[in-house]
Amino acid sequence: MSATTLRVMVFGERGAGKTLYLAGLFRGMSVSGPGSVFTLQTGEVDRLKLNRIYADAVNPLLKNFPPSTHWQTEPWRFDCQITNRHGTFRPLSVEYLDYSGEMLDPLDARLGMTDEEIEVDPELRALRGYRDHADAYLLMIDGLKLLRMLRGAPELAGWLEHYLSDQLQVMEQRLTGTGGRPPLHVVVSKWDLLDGRMVDGVPVTLGAVAGLVARQPTFAAHLDGRAQDRDAPVRVIPVSVTGPFAALDEETGEIVKVPGRPVQPYNLDVPFTALLPDTIRWRREQLLADTGPSGEGVERKLNRRAALLAHARAFVGSARGPLAERLDRWATRRQNGGSPAMSIATAGLAGELLHQLGAVLDEQESRSRARLREIQEEHQRRRQAVATESEAITLALQGFAVRLAEFEEKNPGSLLGEVLS
């Protein structure tokens, strides 16, 4: 069991590729590769399920791709694992909630559900609960639909604004007092269908797609709200599970498998890589936001953030260091009604804790842009020396920072509404 677990709510309509993306993510990160410092592990049954989904998707003898998820919520839990001569360390777990996209619109007449059934349905309740307490959101945009919209398909006129508005509305129902808007990763699936394709004489690029998303009225307002409230920023990340193995049939407008073409996944690890760095920086920003003068206003704000401090504590792995112990004592004081003056003084400890984690990220990103290959080799050497959970999560963070720096350098327009420093 990992010391830290992040919960990710995956948003996307039916057929957007949520389940297939998760299967591809696990497939790609469950085996060590050049520069990797950990592998993903999951339970045996889930491993077999995910492998079957992926195998069916890349099997040229099967004409169709795997079917969409049925009416259910299904969490997929992945453990980051580092194994060396000192033992096995699992400093981080990530749990994704998968479900049928139609569950976001249970009033659809095709489902035939009554108001009462919607209120008491256990799967819908689980969906709402997960949304309210997720550490990050992942929003899938169907790359094929996006391409058809860009090409002027009349039935998709206005689709992107309507789709984003629907998804954001569900996100904004998140209960107040749960820490604001978490990191949002907008994942454009089936990117190989879009990348470089000519539309109106202009090639499709990530910058163009990110700009299009950011200009949608509802999404633009959402970005403004995040910036004003100093919430986490938004990333736009292009991914592909199959690469050129799947191609667009121009006659039918459908995706078909092309036997003989290679399966080349693209960027499947980037949304996963961004989770912990974005969450840490967001929590740090939340904790260190301006509290104003001492007194009642400060006390109210500190009270709201008490839960965040416990959350921050988890981000140092086993968290047995002096700072974490002092943070425990701070939380105990808060529960016992500590004074505003004591709260203000000790609140800095949480900031110090998150600053240490943030400093790891900042330093690593700066170094990684300068010498990526050397750092990957360094991480491999340090991987063999990891002896504690704290060392494991620090190394994982540094590995994440290297991969993010590489991605951002190649895709400078991928970060929207950045408010974190």
* 221 SS3 class: helix
Q: What is the mean pLDDT of residues 206-222?
A: 95
Residues 6+ apart with CB under 8 A from 224: 417
One-letter amino acid of 258: V
The pLDDT value given to residue 297: 42
pLDDT level of residue 352 (50, 70, 90 thresholds) = low
Checking if the pLDDT of 338 tops 50, the result is no
The superfamily CATH assigns to domain 5-268 is P-loop containing nucleotide triphosphate hydrolases (3.40.50.300)
Q: Any long-range contacts for 104-108 (C-beta under 8 Å, 24+ apart)?
A: 104/11, 104/13, 104/166, 104/167, 104/170, 105/166
In this structure, the strands spanning 5-11 and 87-99 are parallel
Residue with tokens 């500190």: 302
pLDDT level of residue 348 (50, 70, 90 thresholds) = very low
Work out the burial of residue 252: count CB atoms within 10 Å of its CB; fewer than 13 is exposed, 13-18 middle, 19 or more buried.
Answer: exposed
Report residue 197 as tokens. 């394709």
Contact between residue 311 and residue 182 where contact means Cβ atoms under 8 Å apart: no
Q: What is the mean pLDDT of residues 408-421?
A: 75
Q: State pLDDT tens for residues 272-314.
A: 999 989 988 887 776 666 444 444 444 444 444 443 344 344 4
Q: What is the mean pLDDT of the chain?
A: 77
pLDDT level of residue 204 (50, 70, 90 thresholds) = very high
Q: State pLDDT tens for residues 14-31.
A: 777 888 999 999 999 998
The pLDDT value given to residue 345: 36
Q: Any long-range contacts for 62-70 (C-beta under 8 Å, 24+ apart)?
A: 62/257, 63/257, 65/20, 65/246, 65/255, 66/19, 66/20, 66/23, 68/14, 68/15, 68/19, 68/100, 68/101, 69/18, 69/19, 69/98, 69/99, 69/100, 69/101, 70/100
Cα angle: 342, vertex 348, 349; to 5 degrees:
95
Contact between residue 233 and residue 183 where contact means Cβ atoms under 8 Å apart: yes
Separation between Cα atoms, residue 169 and residue 165, nearest integer Å: 6
The pLDDT value given to residue 24: 95
Residues 6+ apart with CB under 8 A from 374: none
The pLDDT value given to residue 379: 73
Contact between residue 248 and residue 153 where contact means Cβ atoms under 8 Å apart: no
The pLDDT value given to residue 326: 35
Q: What is the mean pLDDT of residues 125-136?
A: 85
Which residues of the chain are in CATH 3.40.50.300 domains? 5-268
Q: Dihedral sign, CA of 170, 132, 225, 421?
A: negative
Checking if the pLDDT of 188 tops 80, the result is yes
Checking if the pLDDT of 337 tops 50, the result is no
Checking if the pLDDT of 110 tops 90, the result is no
Cα→Cα distances 29→40, 242, 289, Å:
6, 15, 35
Q: What percent of the chain has pLDDT over 70?
A: 70
Beta bridge partners of 140: 187
Checking if the pLDDT of 240 tops 60, the result is yes
